[in-house]
Amino acid sequence: MATTAAPQTSVWDIAATVPDPEIPVLSIADLGILRRTDVEEDGTAVVVITPTYSGCPAMDTITADVRTALEQAGFEKVRVDLVLHPAWTTDWMTEEGKRKLREYGIAPPTGRAAAGGPVRVGLSVKCPRCDSPDTREMAHFGSTACKALYRCNSCLEPFDHFKVH
């Protein structure tokens, strides 16, 4: 039986609406883990995603949510492929996603990930609440492994910082 879903170009648009379960203000497209989509000759919608790190516990949920979104859009056959290479980098996050993080109270990554060159050391992380650069790291791992816990010395609020990697 043929699919009743929209044309191939809509697979990306549908998958791009799936929120990240750990940071629900971000879509998987904002986060940069949505890598590619396709529709095979038999009508199978194919979505390729890359986890933020190889042990990311959210990938099962994201896979199920992508599958559900596409099935609800009329795709009868859906395949979600996880690819680990190339490894995800914060460079893949959209500017819109970084803006959403800041508004949500998480300091977005700054700079670019080191790709075969020197690792840059950030001089400060701006507080997403008051914009003060007077912050300090409290714990290298925050609510998830991809974030660090910081505290603002100006407004005294704790916040997560999405680490560059």
Work out the mean pLDDT of the chain and round it to a whole number: 87
Q: Which residues contact 7 (CB under 8 A, 6 or more apart)?
A: 39
**Of 150, 147, 116, whose CA–CA distance to 135 is shortest?**
150
What are the tens digits of pLDDT across the range 108-142?
887 665 555 555 555 688 899 999 999 999 998 87
Place of tokens 């609406």: 17
DSSP class of residue 102 equals H
What are the tens digits of pLDDT across the range 96-112?
999 999 999 998 887 66
Task: Give the chain's domains with CATH numbers.
Answer: 9-82 (3.30.300.130), 105-111+122-162 (no CATH)
Residue 47 has pLDDT above 90, yes or no: yes
Residue 57 has pLDDT above 90, yes or no: no
Q: Which residues contact 81 (CB under 8 A, 6 or more apart)?
A: 46, 47, 48, 49
The strand pair at 158-162 and 147-152 is best described as antiparallel
pTM: 0.75
